Amino acid sequence: MREVLGVSERRACRTLGQHRSTQRKIPCGLPDEERLTEDIIALTRDYGRYGYRMIAGMLNNSGWHVNHKRVERIWRREGLKVPHKQKKKGRLWINDGSCVRLRAERPNHVWSYDFVHDRTHDGRAYRTLNIIDEYTREALMIRVDRKLNSTDVVDALTDLFILRGAPEYIRSDNGPEFIAKKVRDWITAVGSKTAYIEPGSPWENGYCEWTCRALVPPQVLV
C-alpha cells in the first residue's frame, strides 16, 4: 500500500475508519451459500406470499439445516419482499339493500356527482359541484360557488331534471350534502334512486372524480 498510495497501511486504515485485518482477510461465504440462495429464490418464486421464516421452515423440511437468521440475511441481500395484500374492492350497494355492481347501460341510466375543492389566485377557497352521465361521460353541469350545501344540490338537480329528465340512479359518496334527508327525500319523490359508494372507496365514483376534470362542460352556473 505504501508503494501504491505513498502512505502506510496503518494510516490509510485509520483515515478510512477500517480495521487493518480487512486488508488481509478476503471475505468468503459458506461453501453452500450459492446453492442455498438459489433454493431460497426458487421457493420464493413458488410461494410468493411466504416470508423468510416460512421459507426457512420449508428448507429445513427439505433437508437443509439453517436457522431463520441466515435465511433472513440472504433474503435481505437478494432484495426479496412479500407483496402487500390488496384490499378487495367493495361492491356498490343500491338503496334497496341488494348487492349489485351498478353499471350504466344507457344515457340517463346512472348519473354521478361529487364536490371538488380548489382555491382562486388570491387563496380563497371555492367548491364545484360536478354532475356527469356515466354512460356518455358528459359533464351535465359544473356549479361553482364559494359555499355549496344540500340546498344547492337540490337546486342543481332540479335544473337538470327539467332539461333532461330524471335518471334511474344517482351515484355519490357519503358526504353530508348527499346523504342529507332533504336530498334523499327529494330524489325519491321524483322517481330516482340513490346509489351510495362504500366509505373509503373513491374509485367506485371514479368517473366523477376524474372525468369532470378533463371534460369541458356544456354549462357552468356560478
Domains of the chain: 2-77 (no CATH), 110-221 (3.30.420.10)
pLDDT band at residue 1 using 50, 70 and 90 as cut-offs = low
Q: What is the pLDDT of residues 167-201, one digit of tens each?
A: 999 888 888 888 888 888 888 888 898 888 766 55
> What local confidence, expressed as pLDDT, does residue 220 receive?
42
> What local confidence, expressed as pLDDT, does residue 123 receive?
84
Across 113-130, b (16+ Cβ under 10 Å) vs e yields bbbeeeeeeeeeeebbbb
Helical (H) or strand (E) element with 170: strand 169-172
Q: In this structure, which amino acid lies at residue 150?
A: S
Q: What is the largest CA-CA distance in the chain?
A: 95
What's 98's DSSP letter? Answer: -
186 in Cβ contact with 218 (< 8 Å): no
> What local confidence, expressed as pLDDT, does residue 195 receive?
83
Residue 59 has pLDDT above 90, yes or no: yes
Q: What is the pLDDT of residues 10-54, one digit of tens each?
A: 888 888 777 777 776 665 667 788 899 999 998 988 888 888 899
User: What's the CA gap between 175 and 116, in Å, rounded?
Assistant: 12
| Stated pTM of the model | 0.47
Closest C-alpha among 80, 79, 75 to residue 36: 75
User: What's the CA gap between 193 and 184, in Å, rounded?
Assistant: 8
